Chains A and B, each alone.
Chain A
Amino acid sequence: DSGVTQTPKHLITATGQRVTLRCSPRSGDLSVYWYQQSLDQGLQFLIQYYNGEERAKGNILERFSAQQFPDLHSELNLSSLELGDSALYFCASSVERGQGIDYGYTFGSGTRLTVV
Chain B
Amino acid sequence: AQKITQTQPGMFVQEKEAVTLDCTYDTSDPSYGLFWYKQPSSGEMIFLIYQGSYDQQNATEGRYSLNFQKARKSANLVISASQLGDSAMYFCAMRERNTDKLIFGTGTRLQVFP
Which chain A residues have a beta carbon within 8 Å of chain B's beta carbons?
2, 31, 33, 35, 41-43, 45, 48, 50, 55-56, 58, 88, 90, 92, 94, 97, 101-107, 109-110, 112
Contact = CB atoms under 8 A, between A and B. Distances in A.
A54 B70 CA distance: 33
Nearest to B9: A40
Given A42-B106, A102-B95, A104-B93, A50 B100 contact: yes
Contacts of A110: 43-45
A50 B99 CA distance: 12
B105 A42 contact: yes
B101 interface: yes
Nearest to A41: B106
22 contacts: A31-B100, A33-B100, A33-B102, A42-B104, A42-B106, A42-B107, A45-B101, A56-B100, A58-B101, A90-B45, A92-B45, A92-B102, A97-B100, A102-B50, A102-B95, A103-B50, A104-B47, A105-B47, A107-B47, A109-B43, A110-B43, A112-B43
A45 B91 CA distance: 14
Interface residues of B, number: 22
Given A43-B91, A110-B43, A104 B35 contact: yes
A97 B52 CA distance: 13
A24 to B, nearest CB: 16
Contacts of B91: 42-43
Contacts of A42: 91, 104-107
Interface in B57-114: 91, 93, 95, 97, 99-107
B33 A104 contact: yes
Contacts of B100: 31, 33, 48, 50, 55-56, 94, 97
B33 A102 contact: yes
Contacts of A106: 47
